[in-house]
């Protein structure tokens, strides 16, 4: 993975947006390179919004160009597992190793939402809204 100097990072705001008759929360954790603490700090901040009952149950988590390890993905999944209104979560930009870890985690952990890993952002959005 290409390392970016911390002062050159662009931390994009996460947001909810209408998409083809549904609403998706776009969790923007992409292009944060190797800065695990920054990724997790941003995710924890955004969890305050994700946990609200009024927030959509469809979430796209963009991790393109961000180095993700099993500890990070376990923390993300653990937080999401506690959100009662989640319906579908899609991860975009994960390595094959982390995708295998996700499959194993979901086979061992009962959760109330469906999860997928799709590397194409447009296809991921369509999967979330059921098209």
pLDDT, one tens digit per residue, over 85-100 is: 999 999 999 999 999 9
Determine the pLDDT at residue 123: 96
Whether residue 5 lies inside any domain: the answer is no
Q: Could you tell me if residue 121 is inside a domain? A: yes
Note down the domain range covering 69. Answer: 24-129
In a domain, 55, yes or no: yes
pLDDT, tens digit, for every residue of 22-61?
999 999 999 898 889 999 999 999 999 999 999 999 999 9
Q: Is residue 10 part of a domain?
A: no
Q: Read off the pLDDT band of 1 (50, 70, 90).
A: low
Q: Which residues of 28-60 are buried (b: 16+ CB within 10 A; e: fewer)?
A: bbbbbbebbebbbebbeebbeebeeeebbbbbb
pLDDT tens column, 10-25:
889 999 999 999 999 9
Mean pLDDT of the chain: 92
The answer to whether residue 73 sits within a structural domain is: yes
In a domain, 14, yes or no: no
Q: Is residue 3 situated within a structural domain? A: no
Asked if residue 101 is part of any domain, the answer here is yes
Q: How many independent structural domains does the chain possess?
A: 1
By DSSP bridging, strand 88-92 and strand 58-62 are parallel
């Amino acid at each position: 993975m290409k390392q970016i100097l911390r002062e050159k990072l662009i931390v994009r705001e996460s947001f909810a947006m209408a998409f083809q008759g549904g609403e998706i929360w776009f969790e923007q954790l992409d292009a944060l390179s190797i800065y695990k603490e920054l990724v997790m700090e941003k995710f924890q901040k955004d969890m305050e919004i994700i946990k609200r009952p009024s927030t959509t149950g469809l979430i796209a988590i963009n991790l393109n160009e961000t180095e993700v390890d099993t500890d990070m993905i376990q923390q993300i999944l653990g937080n999401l597992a506690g959100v009662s209104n989640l319906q579908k979560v899609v991860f975009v930009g994960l390595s094959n190793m982390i995708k295998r870890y996700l499959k194993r985690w979901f086979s061992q952990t009962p959760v109330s939402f469906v999860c997928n890993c799709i590397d194409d952002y447009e296809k991921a959005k369509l999967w979330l809204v059921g098209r």
